[in-house]
Amino acid sequence: MLIRTSTIQSLLTSLVLLCCLFSTISVAQMTPRPEQKIALVSGSSSGLGREVAFRLSALDYFVIVHGRNEERGMEVVKLIEESGSGGARFYQADFGAFDQVRQFADNILRDFTRLDVLINNAGIGSSPATRLVSENGHELRFQVNYLSHFLLTHELLPLLLESDAARIVNVSSGAQQDIDFDNVMLERGFSGGRAYAQSKLAQIFFTIDLAETLADENILVNALHPATFMDTAMVRNAGATPRTTVDEGADGVMQLVTDDVGTGNYFVRQRAVRANRQAYDGEDRARLWQLSLQLTGLD
Ligand SMILES: NC(=O)c1ccc[n+]([C@@H]2O[C@H](COP(=O)([O-])OP(=O)(O)OC[C@H]3O[C@@H](n4cnc5c(N)ncnc54)[C@H](OP(=O)(O)O)[C@@H]3O)[C@@H](O)[C@H]2O)c1
């Protein structure tokens, strides 16, 4: 039987229209309700961030899932959607490139009118042991773990200010090492552990300063060491034996989202403690803040 070209064309048009309809439906399902709280968890395609995304969705948050790996990110979205609570959408961005962080922030500013919770969690651990440089020319861990979150947070502040009671949680670590301002990019004496520990202390500097800057706003800013050697890719890739679970780490993160925890504090799991001594040196913090504005182009 001969099928006329015009029939094939009209069949194809119907198919395209049907596909558009389905994709519109799926996008519509992934939009927060007007009153629903919205949380962004960087690095929620795996490990601790993934668990925190599930916890937030169970509390009916709409979760902005982020990572580099689209397949794993979409899997988190799918599991949240299947759970029937919350809702989620995945965004891909490599924090080793500032233009991707800016694009990510622009997309969030375009797609949402408010942000209630920002969990700065994405990170690279002490492995690999080699010194890597980002496409912006900075030591990679310092950029991914710290500078890119400094940039993202600044870009998203207008959305956080729209919330009645926003929280920023910086997922740092108990591994903290002084920042040597003559060697921030660790061109000398590099080790993966040192790079990781320096970037994690930088997050605590940022926490204290940002909390002070936002003291008159409805935004609480805190940092934590979630748990030691959780069973995640970061720990396994470093060849360490996991000692705790992401569930234990997520308890600490969630406390900083839901409880009365003040602002500008550093917690080990669920207990407020002092961080590395250098974090309380106002001059060093001011110096890092200024350098971060310069390096991210925010100045
Ligand atoms: N595991 C521990 O025992 C432990 C202890 C203290 C603190 N922490 C902190 O907890 C946080 C989460 O660590 P984890 O153990 O859950 O590690 P993980 O399982 O390796 O997860 C890391 C997450 O960060 C994302 N990420 C890595 N590099 C990125 C990049 N260049 N750009 C964008 N996203 C990137 C990953 O996304 P893709 O996989 O999609 O690339 C992934 O979602 C980190 O900040 C870490 O320092 C962990």
CATH number, domain containing residue 103? 3.40.50.720
What's residue 30's pLDDT? 77
72 in contact with ligand 1, CB cutoff 6 A: yes
C-beta of 252 in contact with ligand 1 (< 6 A): no
Tens-digit pLDDT profile for residues 150-197: 999 999 999 999 999 999 999 999 999 999 999 999 999 999 999 999
Q: Which domain holds residue 150?
A: 34-296
Distance CA 141, CA 262 (A): 29
Beta carbon of 120 within 6 Å of any ligand 1 atom: no
Q: How far is the CA of 169 from the centre of ligand 1 (A)?
A: 14
CA triple 79-83-88, angle to 5 deg = 60
Structural domain includes residue 28: no
Q: Is 235 in the pocket of ligand 1 (CB under 6 A)?
A: yes
**Cβ of residue 48 lying under 6 Å from some atom of ligand 1:** yes
User: Tell me, what's the pLDDT at 2?
Assistant: 43
Q: Is residue 264 part of a domain?
A: yes
Would you please indicate which residues are annotated as catalytic (active-site) residues? 196
Mutate to test the pocket of ligand 1, among 51, 68, 229 (most ligand atoms within 8 A of CB): 68
Q: Identify whether 20 is part of a domain.
A: no
Domain membership of residue 257 (yes or no) is: yes
Query: Using a 6 Å cutoff on CB, does residue 94 contact ligand 1?
Result: yes
As a whole number of angstroms, the longest Cα–Cα distance in the chain is 83
From CA 94, how far away is CA 263, in angstroms rounded?
29
* Residue that has been written with the tokens 């099928």 in this structure: 3
Task: Report which of 28, 93, 102 is spatially closest to residue 66, judged by C-alpha positions.
Answer: 93
- Per-residue pLDDT at 14: 54
Structural domain includes residue 129? yes
Distance 46 CA to ligand 1 centre (A): 7
By most ligand atoms within 8 Å of CB, the mutation choice from 99, 124, 232, 245 for ligand 1 is: 232
For residue 170, tell me if it sits in a domain: yes
117 phi, psi to nearest 5 deg = -140, 130
Strand order in the sheet with 117-120: 88-92, 62-67, 38-41, 117-120, 166-171, 219-225, 265-268, 271-273
Q: Token pair 């924090």 is at which residue?
A: 95
Identify each DSSP E strand in 10-165 by its residue range. 38-41, 62-67, 88-92, 117-120
Q: Is residue 22 part of a domain?
A: no
Dihedral-angle region of residue 297 (phi above 0 means left; psi in -120 to 50 means alpha; beta otherwise): left
Domain tally, the chain: 1
Rounded to 10 degrees, what is the CA torsion of 254, 122, 242, 74? 90
Q: Which residues of the chain have pLDDT under 50?
A: 1-3, 16-29
Question: CA dist 263 to 26, 90, 184, 209, 211, Å?
Answer: 38, 29, 27, 10, 6
Residue 11 covered by a domain:
no
Q: Which atom of ligand 1 approaches the CA of 244 most closely?
A: 3
Place of tokens 């202390």: 201
Tell how far the Cα of 50 is from the centroid of ligand 1, in angstroms. Answer: 10
Give the count of alpha carbons within 13 A of 43, CB side only.
23
Is the CB of 175 inside a 6 Å radius of any atom of ligand 1? no
